[in-house]
Amino acid sequence: MIINHMQIRRMIAELRLECLPLLEHLKALGHFQWIPNPGNAGDGLITAGTRMLFEQSGLDYHQTSRFCVEPGIPIVYGGGGGWCKAFDIGAVIVSEVANKAGSVIVLPSTFEAERLQQIAHLPHLYLYGRDHHSVKIATQLNLECSYAPDLAFFCPLPVIPQCGGKGTLAAFRKDVIGTTHAPSVKTLQADTWVDLSRKGDHNSRDRLLTKVCQYDCVHTDRLHVAIAATISGCDTYIYPNGDRYHKNLELYRSTLSKFRNCQLVNPE
């Protein structure tokens, strides 16, 4: 596929505009404390994008941890996937810190009903789902929730001359929510097999971008490897998760499907 980087940047700009209601919500808080979602290098891309959104918008905030929350100051908890059966850190942290703050906003995340039920009793809680299915799950539980794209789309974009490497990268999970779809012949013949997301954490900034830029084709079931590859201009093939987890499928439907260089493998 011939990649048009200007088209990719226009699409990213459109996704960023969809975050304006979220941005206005954050501005209305005044000063707030931000707790990034802990995790791997994919969460690092979210953290980098979130920080860039905050800084460019001139928001009044300070970064803290779950252990250093200041009473009475609104909490903004970072977006991510820690709201599923396999990884429930989001529900744990929000439940823990909500008692210390006047209100909690959860940035764009993927939600499963079982984890949201753990926090449904909390007052002054507002959620943002990064896919429309997650918003539906939350609203069915009578939780206040709106849609906003994954904040990884706000991360600093790669310099175009640095994009367009050669070769195929296969980056797949090795846990319960890894894809159950058999890899294609092209995937099996990939030049590199490595689970990039595990080689880093939520402080890894834009590490994924610098790695995927070395290739021109990426096959993965790692959501943020797919996002990094897509915005870098790679031919990107994202595989649905296993264990009946909707994250990749619904994120593709809500955002990644808008990019011509990203395809969902074996859609159901």
User: Is residue 31 in a domain?
Assistant: yes
Q: Are residues 149 and 164 both part of a single domain?
A: no
Q: Which pLDDT belongs to residue 85?
A: 87
Question: 246 with 175, same domain?
Answer: yes
The model's confidence at residue 158, banded by pLDDT at 50, 70 and 90, is: confident
Query: Tens of pLDDT along 9-39?
Result: 999 999 999 999 999 999 999 999 999 999 8
In a domain, 1, yes or no: no
* Residue 90: domain span: 7-153
Mean pLDDT of the chain: 88
Is 119 in the same domain as 20?
A: yes
Helices 5-17 and 223-231: crossing angle, nearest 10°?
120
In a domain? residue 249: yes
pLDDT tens digits, one per residue of 90-125: 999 999 999 888 799 999 999 999 999 999 999 999
CATH assignment at residue 108 = 3.40.50
Can you give the pLDDT at residue 201?
45
Question: 135 with 189, same domain?
Answer: no
211, 181: one domain: yes
Q: Judge whether 75 lies within some domain.
A: yes
d(CA 214, CA 229): 10
Q: What pLDDT, on the 0 to 100 scale, is given for residue 156?
A: 85
Q: Residues 189, 125: one domain?
A: no
Instruction: Please say which residue of 135, 153, 171 terminates a domain.
Output: 153
- Dihedral sign computed on CA atoms, order 22, 78, 6, 240: negative
The model's pTM is 0.91
42-69: pLDDT as tens digits = 898 999 999 999 999 999 999 999 999 9
Characterize 185-201 residue by residue with b for buried, 16 or more Cβ atoms within 10 angstroms of its Cβ, and e for exposed. Answer: eebeebeeeebbbeebb
The pLDDT-based confidence of 4 (bands split at 50, 70, 90) is: confident
Examine residue 16 and state whether it is found in any structural domain, yes or no: yes
**Number of domains, the chain:** 2
- CA pair distance 89, 152, nearest whole angstrom: 19
At 24, is the secondary structure helix, strand, or coil? helix
28 and 139 assigned to the same domain? yes
Dist. CA 122–CA 189, nearest whole Å: 50
